[in-house]
Amino acid sequence: MIGRILLADDALHIRTIFSKILTNAGHFVKAIDNGDDFFQSVLDLKPDLAIVDLHMPGRELAENMALLRGCAKTKELPVIVITGSDDENELSEVLEAGATDVMLKPPNLNQLLNRVGAYIANARVQAMEQQLERERDSLFLTIARLADCREGDGAFQADRVLHCTELLCRSYEERIAPLPQLREICLAGTLYDVGKVAIPSSIVLKPGALNAQERELMETHCAAGAESLALGAESGLDSDVMELAVGIAESHHERWDGTGYPRGLKGPEIPLAARLISVVGVYDALTSERPYRKALSHEQAQKIILEGKGSQFDPEVVSAFETVAHRFPEIRQRFPH
């Protein structure tokens, strides 16, 4: 695969030979001769790969690697370090500093070209995956924001749910157990109430208590959301997120003590993602204005959730909530009505 390469070496003959070989193989090469220019050249050229001499005049490799790995734009850049020294301690220091690979001078040229091609291909695949992930996140958030509009939560309920869920999940990981699908749970959680789109506005926006028939219809939003999301999963949308979203949409009104709906699931029968979103969703609903009531304060909403520990909510999730709840109001400030 062809790419852009930054070559940094103070030896003219190395720059000349490497540039010729890499250019003949179709790559674009920019060569520099000192460590001071390295980081800025990476920012300017946006290379797919850097090949760097271990010892050059100017800024040292370790310092350049720290700059690269500390910068969001350059932290993933593959860096092959070339060196004339086979001192094992020095080589392991180079890798510890963040280099991707080390090659001894003079490198076998076929091996160099093979490695360059492999790193560039890998970098392209990673960039494509990151782009797809960004597009996926954006698509989910857009659907969630649209679904939230009718209830007067503007375009921001999904953003609040996303960020509050992330805080809650990180706290859960610290106190209770790891969540390998943390990012996916946060994203899927934004669609927890998407089934309300299927419920008439006369019910969703009713400025008073629902009667028994209306309540029954309202409760079908769990199944409606789960069915729509399951169709999305079948049509090929990101399956991990969609599977979580189906479980969350279906089970976010279940209660830990088994008295929730639609299925009366109890305790760990309720998917963990739904138990997490249930706390975030209730907090967000309570602190939002509704046609039939004013918004509750943070303290009032927090009290209601703590009182539901072990009855409405998973006690471990509420424990995780207790340690981060004080940060929820700042998220509402960032994403108001």
Joined together, the tokens standing for residue 114 give: 């093979």
CB 58 within 8 A of CB 37: yes
Task: State the minimum distance, in angstroms, from the CB of residue 199 to Fe ion.
Answer: 10
Nearer to Fe ion by C-beta: 151 or 193? 193
CB 166 within 8 A of CB 182: yes
Nearer to Fe ion by C-beta: 196 or 309? 196
Task: State the minimum distance, in angstroms, from the CB of residue 273 to Fe ion.
Answer: 14
Q: In angstroms, rounded to a whole number, what is the distance separating the alpha carbons of residues 76 and 217?
A: 50
Task: State the minimum distance, in angstroms, from the CB of residue 297 to Fe ion.
Answer: 22
Closest residue to Fe ion, Cβ-based? Answer: 193
φ, ψ for residue 258, nearest 5 deg: 90, 5
**What distances in angstroms separate CA 214 from CA 203, 206, 211, 267, 315, one per listed residue?**
7, 10, 5, 28, 31
Task: State the minimum distance, in angstroms, from the CB of residue 162 to Fe ion.
Answer: 16
Nearer to Fe ion by C-beta: 123 or 187? 187
Decide: helix, strand or coil at residue 86.
coil
Task: State the minimum distance, in angstroms, from the CB of residue 192 to Fe ion.
Answer: 6
CB 6 within 8 A of CB 30: yes
Nearer to Fe ion by C-beta: 237 or 285? 285
Task: State the minimum distance, in angstroms, from the CB of residue 250 to Fe ion.
Answer: 10
Q: In angstroms, rounded to a whole number, what is the distance separating the alpha carbons of residues 224 and 89?
A: 61
Identify the CA nearest to 14 among candidates 96, 92, 100, 80: 80
CB 51 within 8 A of CB 82: yes
Nearer to Fe ion by C-beta: 193 or 238? 193
Nearer to Fe ion by C-beta: 166 or 193? 193
Identify the CA nearest to 267 among candidates 307, 313, 219: 313
Nearer to Fe ion by C-beta: 221 or 309? 221
Q: In angstroms, rounded to a whole number, what is the distance separating the alpha carbons of residues 250 and 253?
A: 8
Task: State the minimum distance, in angstroms, from the CB of residue 153 to Fe ion.
Answer: 13
Within 13 Å of residue 139, how many CA atoms lie on the same side as its CB?
11
Nearer to Fe ion by C-beta: 33 or 193? 193
Task: State the minimum distance, in angstroms, from the CB of residue 147 to Fe ion.
Answer: 11
What residues make contact with Fe ion under the rule CB under 5 A? 193
* Cβ-Cβ contacts under 8 Å for 152 (sequence gap 6 or more): 289, 291, 337
